[in-house]
Amino acid sequence: MEQTQALYLRNLNKRFVVFLLFLLSLYIARSLFSVRKHQETSLLIYRPVRFSAVAKTLYESRIAPDPLFARLAVVAIWALKGEGIPPGKYDVAQGASLFNFIKSLAKQPPQMLQFVFPTGFTNAQVIKRLASIPTLTGHITRVPMEGMLFPSNYHYAPGDSRQSIIDRMQYLRGKALNKALTQKKFDVRQVLTLASIIEKETSHDEERCIVASVYLNRLRKNMRMQACPTVIYSVTYGQKRRRNFKITKQQLFNDSAYNTYRLKGLPPTSVCNPSKSSIMAVVYPAETDFLFFASEGDKSSGQHKFSKSFQGHIQNQQLLSK
């Protein structure tokens, strides 16, 4: 009787093991075929990389058919890479099998995401744009003075903090300034402030040095700079202005430290984050006797006519208005 029961149990165990192996083979076979159509063609792995978070992303992106498969896939990718999964963006073939996806991700280097910071943006505009990027994390707690952020294209990994981007911008600005000002002794704040005004006045590189000479000539003669970008900043304080913004007579004489129509000298800070070209224009201005310039069309994008006297300036304005 006991022998019969033992034999029955052994046969039952064999059948159970065979059944489990059959289920496992079916489960593994599923990975060789496309089990679902992916809704996305890319996968974002966030910093810091956590095993459970990656598995959850695979399942929620419909790349893995269920949570268990997702965990097994992460283990396989981790083992094949040998050094973990770096954060970044990975391409996923539409409808690819999980098996092929694992091989692809194990061999594929991560792609970095990109944030574009144009020249002429103010700190407020940069902060607003960073806040709108969902793949960045955290709040910005430290912001340098206006003008100390370096305009460029920045690459980052998903999960990087917004503050780290700001810190990198400030570091690159300091590095660029040190390089530009090595041969001449300048006050950094004054250089940035005047460069920011030039940045807003013209977008033509060939004019920047001439515009710089106009403002430097005015400052030497103790004249008011009368720079429209400073008046605009005194109204908007770096926030994006509406289209077709026109300065009113009242704004020309508003009570602000940035209003160079009312006060002499430079404003207290920059009015935007200038380009390298505008900084170099301040460091190496053109040698001219010009004290005025009139714009053709939009002040920042149109060409300018320069003059040595106010009478010549009026004539240029009349000529350009025709």
What is the predicted pLDDT for the residue at 3?
Answer: 52
Task: Please name the residue that has the structure tokens 């460029």.
Answer: 152
pLDDT of residue 52: 86
> 189-212: buried (b, 16+ CB within 10 Å) or exposed (e) per residue?
bebbbbbbbbbbbbbeeebbbbbb
Average pLDDT over the chain reads 82
The pLDDT value recorded for residue 35 is 45
Q: Provide the pLDDT for residue 299.
A: 56
- For residue 144, the model assigns a pLDDT of 94
pTM for the model: 0.79
Specify burial of residue 73 (Cβ count, 10 A radius: 0-12, 13-18, 19+): buried
Interhelix angle 67-81/98-107, nearest 10 degrees: 30
* pLDDT tens, position by position, 225-258: 999 999 989 888 878 765 566 777 778 878 889 9
* Backbone dihedral angles phi then psi of residue 44, each to the nearest 5 degrees: -105, 125
- The residue among 248 and 23 whose pLDDT is bigger is 248
111 pLDDT higher than 50: yes
Query: Is the distance from CB of 230 to CB of 259 less than 8 angstroms?
Result: yes
Percentage of the chain modeled with pLDDT above 70: 81
How far is it, in rounded angstroms, from Cα 160 to Cα 310?
A: 53
List the chain domain ranges: 27-107, 113-179, 183-321
Higher pLDDT residue, 179 or 271? 271
pLDDT digits (tens, 9 = 90+) for 77-107: 877 777 778 899 988 776 667 777 777 778 8
What is the structure's pLDDT at 88?
93
Helix ranges (H only) for the chain are: 2-30, 51-60, 67-81, 98-107, 123-131, 162-180, 188-201, 205-220, 228-236, 249-252, 276-283, 310-321
For range 199-215, the mean pLDDT: 94
CA distance 106 to 99: 11
219 pLDDT exceeds 80?
A: yes
Q: Kindly state the average pLDDT of the residues 175-191.
A: 80
State pLDDT tens for residues 25-34: 545 555 544 5
Across 22-31, 168-177, 239-248, 296-305, least confident range: 22-31
Task: Give CA–CA dist 80/97, Å, rounded.
Answer: 17
Closest CA to 113 of 74, 159, 78, 150: 159
pLDDT at 282: 93
